[in-house]
Amino acid sequence: MPTLPELQRDFVAAVFDADSERFPGEVRDGRFGGARLFQIYRNNVFLSLTGALAAVYPVVQCLVGAGFFDYLADNFIRAHRPDSGNLHDFGGELAEFLAGFPACADHPYLPDVARLEWAYHRVFHAAAPAFDLAALGAVPPEQYGALRFGLSPGARLIVSDYPLLAIWRANQPGAGDTTVDLGAGGERLLVFRRALEVEFKLLAPGEYALLDALRDGATLEHASERALAAAADFDLAACLQQQVALGTLTNTSTLS
Amino acid sequence: MSAVAPSGARHPGPIPACAGIGLRAPHYRELLADRPPLGWLEVHSENYFGDGPPLDYLEQLRAHYPVSLHGVGLSLGSTDPLDRRHLRNLKALIARVAPGLVSEHLSWSSVGGTYLNDLLPLPYTEEALALFIARVGEAQDFLGRELLIENPSSYLQYRHSTIPEAEFLAEIARASGCGLLLDVNNVYVSAANHGFDALRYLRTVPAAAVKEIHLAGFSVNRYADGEVLIDTHSTRVAPPVWALYRAAVQRLGRLPTLIEWDTDIPALAVLLDEMRQADAVLNEPCHADVA
């Protein structure tokens, strides 16, 4: 008779290893043999995790087709078993996994699509702390350059060599024109939340460079230098004003 | 987040002894716009661990309906240490939502840090009983409130189980002081799959500990040599489950009763129709609490 820790380890091992015969031996034969009864759990685990992935990655699923997505999910689940009791934490490595998945090698844009969908998912569930304008007002202007703003947990940046936004829109339910010119060029995207909706905004090179630097912890001075290097006509004041209005920046951790 | 209802505007906490429905995302806006009469709402706790629109919708609805939290990811029956991060998230959600009831399952879903996202069966042994009682106690102490523990549906039994499930639950409630959530559909599904007597199960569950009932629909996996009932929460409550529910209410009295529907989610009107059927059973005379 196995101890409970042994039984649980055997159970999980047998879910991921269809050839494992050790575990069903501990299952009482009922109306069906133990191995068949255990198979119900194996199916349920893979069905529910595949469903969770499909809920986060509907565009990837649409692009590869439901049948291939199930095959992809099966491979992904075995490589990246969930490590949290909160299902919303599951699936973040799909972009990386797709990049190394030989069967998808002919579709090099898929990892970026997955990155965009994961960003959408995280932004949807993230807290979005308000930018503290009053705290900023208390800082003498000559010290602005040393400030470090952060990117809100409710905002993410994506850069791609492909027209991601067009791909995303063409694969939404009810989309009319589903033709996308994959050679149309890359883009820099901001994924953020306005009220209760996730939205996308195309960023100019300077805007992207600024937000990217701020996200990585640069001071406002260094971030604006990076932005000016990316775009000589970058307008720092206009960009900051717009980003604060969109709620994509935080200063609560740096000014309090 | 914006638009948090001031605490004074919150609906009073207790879950009333009538029927309610599981709150699912496709119904957020319709519920807020129409505010149909319904007893209470239950949500899966983990769906609200984030701080985005789902929590915002829940807080808006909380101003109009009592809410209970139903966890699916705490993995109380696991031999891993209790996940403190999960518990902290749950405690923060409890503080924010002020639920009338908080429940989890008699099951495990993780070991060695791997989570299977399923409510897996425990062997009903003295070893598992001691572990589960200790873990419920630890969780209740951390959360500072009572948990209800729900009987699972199951598709297999272990050779070395020695304690009938209803007695196992009774001992958990007695030793840990937790309450019980009786899922009548799960009793029906497990009884059919394992060939035990569902009515006898109902008679064994300690009536005083049961504080909530769940109802849901199941699916049937048919094979050439038989069938297995699967607890999918994807259909209406089946007629024999309504009959078992009536028997449960006659024994346990009027209790908060939830209509659960988690996959192939139907129009809100269908859920409300199921809810009214449960209310009709609750309102039949001659229950234990009227006698």
- B39-48 per-position pLDDT tens digit: 999 999 999 9
Length of chain B: 291
- The predicted model gives B79-91 an average pLDDT of 97
DSSP letter at A250 equals E
Beta bridge partners of A197: A194
Cβ <8 Å between B195 and A90: no
The alpha carbon of B65 is separated from its chain's Cα centroid by a whole number of angstroms, namely 18
Q: Report the Cα–Cα distance between both ends of chain B, in Å, rounded.
A: 48
Instruction: Classify residue B98: in a domain, yes or no.
Output: yes
Residue with the two structure tokens 């959530």:
B181
Q: Which pLDDT belongs to residue B291?
A: 40
Cβ of residue A173 closer than 8 Å to a chain B Cβ: no
Residues A3-20, buried b or exposed e (16+ Cβ, 10 A)? ebeebbbbbbebbeeeee
**Pick from A8, A45, A83: which is nearest to B118 by CB?**
A45
Instruction: Classify residue B20: in a domain, yes or no.
Output: yes
The third-level CATH classification (topology) of the domain covering A125-256 is: Outer Surface Protein A; domain 3 (3.90.930)
> What is the span of the domain harbouring residue B213?
7-282
- A69-121 per-position pLDDT tens digit: 999 999 999 999 999 999 999 999 999 999 999 999 999 999 999 999 999 99
In this structure, the number of other CB atoms found within 10 A of the CB of residue A40 comes to 17
Residue with the two structure tokens 């932005």:
A227
Instruction: Classify residue B56: in a domain, yes or no.
Output: yes
Q: What is the CATH number of the domain that holds B105?
A: 3.20.20.150
Instruction: Classify residue B129: in a domain, yes or no.
Output: yes
Q: In sequence order, what are the residues at sequence separation of 6 or more whose Cβ sits closer than 8 angstroms to the Cβ of residue A67?
A: none
Q: Which pLDDT belongs to residue A133?
A: 87
Flag whether pLDDT at B289 surpasses 70: no
In angstroms, what separates the C-alpha of B183 from chain A's closest C-alpha?
19
Cβ <8 Å between A125 and B51: yes
Q: B-contacting residues of A 83-112, CB under 8 Å?
A: 83-88, 90
ipTM for the predicted complex comes to 0.92
Chain A residues in contact with B115 (beta carbon < 8 A) = 81-85
In the predicted model, residues of chain A with pLDDT beneath 50 are 255-256
**Rounded-to-integer distance, Cα B15 and Cα B97, Å:** 13
**Rounded-to-integer distance, Cα B245 and Cα B215, Å:** 8
Cβ of residue A82 closer than 8 Å to a chain B Cβ: yes
- The predicted model gives B63-68 an average pLDDT of 96
**Pick from B112, B117, B156: which is nearest to A27 by CB?**
B156
- The predicted model gives B219-224 an average pLDDT of 94
**CATH 3.90.930 domain position(s) in chain A:** 125-256
Residue from B156, B154, B231 nearest A14 by CA: B156
Instruction: Classify residue B289: in a domain, yes or no.
Output: no
By three-state DSSP, how is residue A22 classified? coil
User: The dihedral of CA A173, A179, A182, A188: what is its sign?
Assistant: negative
Residue from B111, B106, B101, B147 nearest B258 by CA: B101
Residue with the two structure tokens 């799909």:
A94
Flag whether pLDDT at B290 surpasses 70: no
Q: Please give the mean pLDDT across all residues of chain B.
A: 94
Tally of domains within chain B = 1
Chain A residues in contact with B2 (beta carbon < 8 A) = 195
Residue from B82, B167, B116, B150 nearest A38 by CA: B116
